[in-house]
Chains A and B, each alone.
Chain A
Amino acid sequence: MSPTAPPARRLLHAPPVAASPFPYHPGSLLSASDLSLEGVSHILARATALENQDPLVRDRILAKRRVALLFYESSTRTRTSFELAAKGLGADTTLVSSLSSSIEKGETLKDTGLTLRALGAETIILRHNSSGAAWLLEAETRLPVLNAGDGMHEHPTQALLDLRTILAHLRPGVEAVTSETLAGVTVSIVGDILHSRVARSNMLLLPRLGARVLLCGPKELLPELAAQAGPGIAIERDFEAALRQSQAVMMLRIQAERLAGLQLDLDEYKANYQLTGLRLAAHAPAAIVMHPGPIIRGLEVTAGVADGPQSVILEQVRNGVAIRMAVVERALLATEPGGRA
Chain B
Amino acid sequence: MTALVIRGGHLIDPAAGVDALKDVLLKDGRVAEIAGPGKLKQANGAEALDATGLTVAPGLIDMHVHLREPGQGYKETIATGTAAAAAGGFTAVAAMPNTLPVNDSPEITRWMQAPERGAVIRVFPIAAATRGSKGEAINDFAALKSAGAVAVTDDGQPILKDNIMRETLAAAARVGLTVIQHAEDTRLTQFAGGGASMNLGPVSFKLGLRGMPPEAESGMVERDIRLVTELRDARAHLHVAHTSTAAALAAVRQARRSGLRVTCEVAPHHFLLTEEHVGLYNTNAKMNPPLRSAADRDAMIEAILDGVVDAIATDHAPHAVHEKEVEFENAPNGITGLETALGLCLRWLHKEWKMPLGRVLSLLSAQPAALLSLKGRGTLTVGSFADVVVFDPKAEWTYNAREGRSKSRNTPFDGWTMQGKVRWTISEGRVAYNAEE
Q: Which residues of A contact B (CB under 8 A)?
A: 1-2, 5, 9-10, 12-15, 17-18, 20, 22, 108-110, 128, 130-133, 135-136, 140, 150-154, 194, 197, 200, 223, 225-226, 228-230, 260-261
Contacts and interface: CB of A to CB of B under 8 A. Distances in A.
Contacts of A151: 208-209, 329
A260 to B, nearest CB: 4
A17 B279 contact: yes
Contacts of B207: 131-132, 153
Contact of B208 (A17, A110, A197): A197
Interface string B194-211: 100000011001111110
Nearest to A151: B208
A331 B277 CA distance: 29
Given A152-B209, A260-B192, 8 more contacts: A9-B302, A14-B274, A17-B279, A131-B328, A136-B328, A151-B208, A151-B329, A225-B201
Contact of A110 (B209, B210, B325): B325
B208 A12 contact: no
8 contacts: A132-B281, A136-B327, A136-B328, A152-B209, A153-B208, A153-B209, A154-B208, A261-B192
Contact of B306 (A2, A140, A150, A229): A2
Contacts of A260: 191-194, 210
Contacts of A109: 326-327
Which are the 3 A-B pairs with shortest beta-carbon distances? A153-B208, A132-B281, A152-B208
B1 interface: no
B296 to A, nearest CB: 12
Nearest to A110: B325
Contact of B326 (A13, A20, A22, A108): A108
Contact of A2 (B206, B307, B327, B330): B307
Given A2-B307, A9-B298, A131 B202 contact: no
Contacts of B416: 15
Contacts of B330: 130
Interface string B379-419: 00000000000000000000000000000000000001000
B251 interface: no
B273 interface: yes
Contact of B329 (A22, A131, A197): A131
A1 B306 contact: yes
Contact of B305 (A2, A13, A132, A223): A2
A13 B271 CA distance: 12
B205 A225 contact: yes
A130 B353 contact: no
Contacts of B302: 9-10
A113 to B, nearest CB: 11
Given A5-B306, A12-B353, A15-B348, A131 B209 contact: yes
Contact of B277 (A17, A136, A200): A17
A135 B282 CA distance: 10
B276 A135 contact: no
B279 A110 contact: no
A8 to B, nearest CB: 11
B208 A150 contact: yes
A14 B205 contact: no
B352 interface: yes
A22 B280 CA distance: 8
A169 to B, nearest CB: 29
A229 B206 contact: yes
Nearest to A33: B206
Nearest to A132: B281
A153 B193 CA distance: 17
B298 A132 contact: no
B297 interface: yes
B367 to A, nearest CB: 16
A5 B194 CA distance: 44
